[in-house]
Amino acid sequence: MKRLIALLLALVLAACTTISKVEGDQLVNGRLKVSVPAAWNHVQPPWDKEPYDTWTQEGMPLDHLRLWGGVESGQALMRKPTVFFRSRGEKDARVPTFKAGMPPEKLVSLFEELYALSGAVKLTRVEPATFAGQKGVRFEFTLARRWDDLPMKGVGWVAVKDERLYAATFLAPRLSFYERLLPMAESVVNTAQIRGRG
């Protein structure tokens, strides 16, 4: 019953979501510039703005590219989730929060924690990489979504400059969608540049 109610709620919220086309040069949070060679759909939820931009090719249940542009120390990577149904004694979900000086493995664990709110996450690869012109980390993970058990695959990039976090993640169903859409996500991520101070 809870699963059905959650699905109905998701459909209602999706109906209130604003979707607009993005292409060409885009600026995320006034700090992270990316070039978009092939159009994506920008998704704006009906509630307060998240600290990241969300783009999709096939629709939110199937894929998303998220971009964080200059998250400050002490700032959460997402809004606190709204809980409509809570079991007795259930605590609020912990929201991953960036802190300046975090080592690379802790930066990756922020995103592991973020996606764990949707299901079971397993990191499959972590390696040094360059993101937005900065030394950073690239990581891969799998996600078994709690609400439909769909096996998902994801990848993320994260770097820090002047005590601000810059990141991108891409997530899609492991079969077919991930391999097909990953090159489109990478073509955006590979153009990332930090703008302004920090």
pLDDT digits (tens, 9 = 90+) for 120-149: 999 999 999 999 999 999 999 999 999 888
Domains of the chain: total: 1
Q: Where are the beta strands (DSSP E) in the chain?
A: 18-28, 32-44, 53-56, 64-72, 119-131, 134-145, 151-161, 164-173, 193-194
pLDDT digits (tens, 9 = 90+) for 20-32: 899 999 999 999 9
| Contact (CB, 8 A) for 8 and 176 | no
Token pair 């391999």 is at which residue?
179
For residue 58, is it within any domain? yes
Token output for 1: 């019953």
Q: What is the CATH number of the domain that holds 172?
A: 3.40.1000.10
149 located within any domain? yes
pLDDT of residue 24: 95
Residue 85, in any domain of the structure: no
Asked whether residue 6 is assigned to any structural domain, the reply reads no
Residue 9, pLDDT score: 45
39 located within any domain = yes
115 part of a folded domain: yes
Using an 8 Å Cβ cutoff, are 144 and 120 in contact? yes
- Residue at 13 is within a domain: no
pLDDT in tens, 52-98: 999 999 998 899 999 999 999 999 999 876 544 445 665 666 799 99
Q: What share of the chain is helix, strand, coil (3-state, %, to 5)?
A: 20, 45, 35
Neighbours of 66 (CB within 10 A): 24
Distance CA 62, CA 113 (A): 20
Range of the domain at 122: 18-79+97-194
Question: How far is 142 from 163, CA to CA, in rounded Å?
Answer: 28
Average pLDDT, the chain: 88
Cα–chain-centroid distance for residue 140? 13
Kindly report the length of the chain. 198
Query: Do the domain assignments include residue 122?
Result: yes
